[in-house]
Amino acid sequence: MGEGKSDLALPLSDLEDYGRRLRSVKTRMNHTKKLFDQYKDDIGDGGVNDALSDFESNWEDGREDITQQLDALADMSDAVVREFNKLENELTKQVNEKMKVEDKREKK
């Protein structure tokens, strides 16, 4: 304290990036069927394609829960960034107003 460093440090850019990365994971996770279908002809082996299809079916069962959790985490991250920015703006406004009052007193 007192050395020009903030008492509270929050990596907002990291949190913003965190929300984007979670949404990216969700998007990629929800496109596994399309990915498997893209390579279906290249794989050629019906057994592999059947296994991938089975995996996709089983994966679909739990995917909704994971998707909801990813959305919730991303939303929380966004909310922290939004609220911290609001707080920082309000504190900056209050400090600036306080500085104006002090400046007026010094001029008298």
Dihedrals φ, ψ of 75, to 5°?
Answer: -65, -40
Q: What is the mean pLDDT of residues 77-91?
A: 92
- For position 105, what pLDDT does the model report? 58
- For position 104, what pLDDT does the model report? 59
* pLDDT of 108 over the 60 cut: no
Task: Name the residue with higher pLDDT: 20 or 4.
Answer: 20
| Tens of pLDDT, residues 52-80 | 888 877 777 788 888 899 999 999 999 99
Token pair 């959790």: residue:
69
The domain segmentation of the chain, as residue ranges, is 13-97
- Check the CA dihedral 67-68-73-74 and report its sign: positive
Q: What is the mean pLDDT of residues 13-42?
A: 84
pTM listed for this prediction: 0.62
